[in-house]
Structure 1
């Protein structure tokens, strides 16, 4: 009813019915007759997905983040029965760092919209990491750590994903007690809504990272200092050796406190070595594998200690990113003492394996993940960047390679782990639709259906624009796509597509006439124009650098005046976009805090992530 308010006035025109799953897989059926839409589904999410499928299939609209275009008719025309069974048991969503690049300061109002978006797109297994720290602080206090020792451990809210994975500590904090109280209350609402829709959220567990102050209480405890990304030593995390009895004690305490607050859950995430080297040891490969085996066992034991039904979930980004460390032997060791049915691996980045690294698919390299259930996933966004990128044909059909592979093992789900959302809508529609399909998709036909559902029409100019996009920006995957003005001063190259064909596609799209009534066309036209202006800014920087090489200061200044003009136009334009506004990002941050000082601190933290990211 929140999606189509007119249905709230005539609820009898929408009939919902719960049916059985098919071999454990969600299913939905839709049929329209006599002005009544009947949807049958095997869960709340399946019912919502069925409604959205009907909406798009009949070209009645589409839902984006904080925006939509719904053209619900006064009299619904008849539509033939349609039955869809998902080829996957689970439909996964989010990356740990989405909680930094997009979601750190979300309020319940924004979360409610996101959970609606998830349900409509058929997602039933989202990461739910809000209040991770609120529970951990209780554990640290039970152990006897001081407020100062706890404060030095944490980062500001926008950087918490990297603190959770042990990449950095002690940056842009501390976190006040009011933050923890607010986040715990928010997580209650999030989990309640997710579970009411039949979703199975993945919640946080203890991964092994501890405040350095633990040594005051346990001076003999063995800690490994882990660095990341060139950060100074004061920001390095301390990883508690899994051989220490304290590891299991802390893990159990965390699960007890979590369950005491939020009740029973099944899936729990713990990531210990994201983009980091393994702790040093002097015993060679055998000692390394023994340590990994012990770590896997201890994490699982801590998760299952208060809940024998609990399943350990782990992100698999490093399986493709760090093949120098992670191979069949090391992964097998990590998983060796975890029961097969109590583990779920997120094969995070199939798109990177196939179209960027080109280093083979993980399910082949890791022998079907050694009989552990796993989720096929893609990473359609890096670093929250908004530029158009990605291999469209792969996102539509890449999952079929996994489904048909002799190495598929216990493939149980499909999903996506974008580092930032609210961008590149067409890719997210492609991926979420693919998760409910086990046949080849004709991408050209898909784009026509997409545009007719999204905007209400598909003029020739738009068709030509999408053909150009498929041959340019959407024909390859760029890691962290950036213009030169988003890089270090003096950088001449960029990773954003700037070809003439791409520029022509942008112009054709923006100048399409007859769709101005569509809020989603206006949103996308703003994005396309911002891309165009970004490329012109890119060119102005290059021209200025060339003039500087010639010591032509007058022309250098003139080029930078053009850059400023384009930048200000882009800024002005984006104020009309529903999500791409700095003011919105800052308003989320300032909505928290119990004093002007706290609000200012949150704003500073939010600004830092989208500018310098790291040190002041």
Structure 2
């Protein structure tokens, strides 16, 4: 495999690792802004002047005449944000994580009269720890430079930086006497570094070489330098007490008290030093010394979460522990701020009580894109930031909260006297859903409601250079359907294309959503509207922004159609119609092959694009093989073991991954079920054989050594037209047949107990009602008991006799969940049932939280 890497990478020119240069010398604020202009809009160089005016404070003014624009603000950060606002709102260009349209008119247009703008927010924060692995794991300096410019132009004030922590940990541990070889093995691959930094795992995907560690440190230093140059505050990693699990076996320290942290989803966690013990101050001082050595600054803000997604508190006093962490932080960098994430029950009231509100900030992660601006938690006087969390795992899928964002200003204004100081983007993955993030960025400038209809027309004009009526109509349909979820859920409704196959599969990963709250017909209609515009106005295809959105729409059509087509395959199977089964299977598989063909036309949807970045962090064939393995493993099995809680968590609809990972699984499944249908195997034997083969193939994919294309193949418009034309009849038929339901399907032929994965529906403690509704079949359903399990542990139950059929009696069950999970166990609902007159009974189970 190594020799194969060497030869292929040589052919593709991938042998050279990323070059990380020294940090640029200090430049003046105006020169820094002019540097952004030259990098982002070189044609505007010399046509825009910038002036520092401290008297403006938080205000920014934009004025001038055509070809001579003037921006005034109190500091460099606001000057750049002002220019970004001008580009979008006056010059009508577009910046996004999914393509740009950055050719402003010549001469540069001027506002009709001077414009004054002002953001209502003190803090605009970027990045979840997860973002820096699911999206940015393998970025080089060129990509980071583009990213920092993008953040600055959109008015972001703070951003989490973790590149360089590899060197920090190495220096810190070796300085304490921990063996160098073990310190290297403690450091994970960048693909998994996010969870290392949150205390969930150690060493996964490693070890890195010394050269890689050193280059990552250089990159981190350069990121920090550029952010500071542009007036942004880099948030570095603070010390909250993590050490390798075998630390005490290798280092002797007076007064050291360690707390084992157990496991996180099959991974051994680092242990935690009790912050109140005698050894902690020295450890913290050494950490901050190593941090300064790597980044060249003392730091103004530090991230670091205690007990993230589980972990053990032992017998420590959490309030005193928080005080100790913050005391060490202040000693190392007086006046600094401790930044913590509010997620999964953290931070606890005990932790908050130990924090000095003057030097703390809480990031409230909000996954509810339906109504996430209300009923928010406040933090006992500690300032906090509302942070959208619309993407999980970097999944590919249209999702967001257009109605929510349009009214969010008025929602959040009610919290501005309760500690709210800003907004943030903390999605686990970026580089998706430009519509959602464009509205988020515009939301940063006003608390007033944003009229969606008018905004969508302006969005099309900025993003595509023109706003055809069919496109504006499509955007309106999408905004009121797929971008308007009906309740809180963890990210997009995942496609079953990316799921491990099963007859009743609804989603790909454990904690995600499979709820189909929007109509397939709406997505098909929007895709056809975009194709109509492209065929009538071919110049649209010159814009990378339009090409991306067209591919994304056709991809979404195929991703959703697969769910409904599977029902047809199942119907043929249940009818024991071998010929019909084979026909419907072929239609299903053709949707996947069509998807791969469409995705292959755009670089942003290529597995090779992600892989190339990973390979570029390797110089030797061994380094390349290691980076490639981790890059693929993150997207597929996450761990190189059979337990699959994290399987497909980071699923992506990318060309190459679809064809070589997802498609073979579905082929294997349908072949196994054909053996059942033709009597060659019984169901148990076929299922066992399929599972065995699937697990082996899943685990082998990461190490397959295959290098994927980085150059798109096929013309976007031609392929999109071909696919939508070829599938027109199927899509029209599926749209007619699609049934809307907020419930989970059951079939008594599955046997008792009926099992339902309700992880995406149980999101807080409280009282839930499970209602069983018969839909068809010759027999009614008798329900004897309903129980809720957290992992393997029963956490709620209702035992009584119920009935659902033509008539219902006692078919609703009350489940009282007293405590929401503190780990990552999934929730399963099990119902003991029987048929009133046989096993021919089908229906749905609807689970709702009382009060919603």
Fold similarity call, TM over 0.5: yes
Residue 42 of structure 1 aligns with which residue?
74
Find the partner of 2:491 among 480, 483, 491.
480
Residue 153 of structure 2 aligns with which residue?
120
Contact 1:354 1:361 in 2 (8 A): no
Residue 305 of structure 2 aligns with which residue?
271
Shift of the alpha carbon at 1:54?
A: 1.8
Residue 584 of structure 1 aligns with which residue?
609
Contact 1:153 1:211 in 2 (8 A): yes
Alignment partner of 1:18 is 2:42: no
Please report the TM-score for the alignment, with normalisation by the length of structure 2: 0.65
Distance 1:228 1:94 in 2: 25
Contact 1:590 1:603 in 2 (8 A): yes
Find the partner of 1:532 among 532, 547, 557.
557
Find the partner of 2:368 among 337, 352, 355.
352
SS of 2:423's partner is strand
Distance 2:118 2:127 in 1: 23
Structure 1 pair 342/144, CA: closer, same or farther in 2 (3 Å)?
A: same
Residue 398 of structure 1 aligns with which residue?
408
Distance 1:440 1:64 in 2: 22
Distance 1:547 1:292 in 2: 59
Distance 2:375 2:142 in 1: 42
Structure 1 pair 66/469, CA: closer, same or farther in 2 (3 Å)?
A: closer
Find the partner of 1:5 among 21, 32, 42.
42
Alignment partner of 1:509 is 2:530: yes
Distance 1:535 1:14 in 2: 47
Deviates more, 1:576-585 or 1:264-273: 576-585
Residue 545 of structure 2 aligns with which residue?
520
Shift of the alpha carbon at 1:104?
A: 0.7
Structure 1 pair 191/228, CA: closer, same or farther in 2 (3 Å)?
A: same
Q: Deviations 1:122-162 (Å, cap 9, x if unpaired)?
A: 11211111111210111111111123432443332201101
Alignment of 1:182-581 (within 5 A): 182-216=215-249, 217-218=251-252, 221-227=256-262, 229-231=264-266, 235-261=268-294, 262-281=296-315, 291-318=317-344, 322=345, 330-331=348-349, 333-349=350-366, 351-352=367-368, 355=371, 360-363=375-378, 369-405=379-415, 408-476=417-485, 478-481=489-492, 482-490=494-502, 491-494=504-507, 495=514, 497-512=518-533, 513-514=536-537, 515-581=540-606
Distance 1:549 1:271 in 2: 51
Output the aligned Cα RMSD. 2.4
Residue 287 of structure 1 aligns with which residue?
none
Deviates more, 1:388-397 or 1:562-571: 562-571
Distance 1:163 1:184 in 2: 16
SS of 1:612's partner is coil
Contact 1:212 1:238 in 2 (8 A): yes
Alignment of 1:67-78 (within 5 A): 67-78=99-110
Contact 2:523 2:556 in 1 (8 A): no
Distance 1:71 1:239 in 2: 52
Shift of the alpha carbon at 1:316?
A: 1.3
Q: Structure 1: 5+ residue runs without aligned partners?
A: 282-289, 364-368
Q: Structure 2: 5+ residue runs without aligned partners?
A: 1-37, 508-513, 642-852
Residue 64 of structure 2 aligns with which residue?
32
Shift of the alpha carbon at 1:103?
A: 0.6
Count of equivalent residues:
584
Shift of the alpha carbon at 1:430?
A: 1.2
Distance 1:516 1:425 in 2: 17
Distance 2:562 2:354 in 1: 55
| Greater RCO, CA 8 A, separation 6+ | 1
SS of 1:473's partner is coil
Q: Which has the larger radius of gyration?
A: 2
Hey, which of these two has a bigger chunk of helix by percent? 1
Contact 1:61 1:454 in 2 (8 A): yes
Q: Deviations 1:341-381 (Å, cap 9, x if unpaired)?
A: 111111222x528637x993112xxxxx2222222221121
Deviates more, 1:549-558 or 1:163-172: 549-558
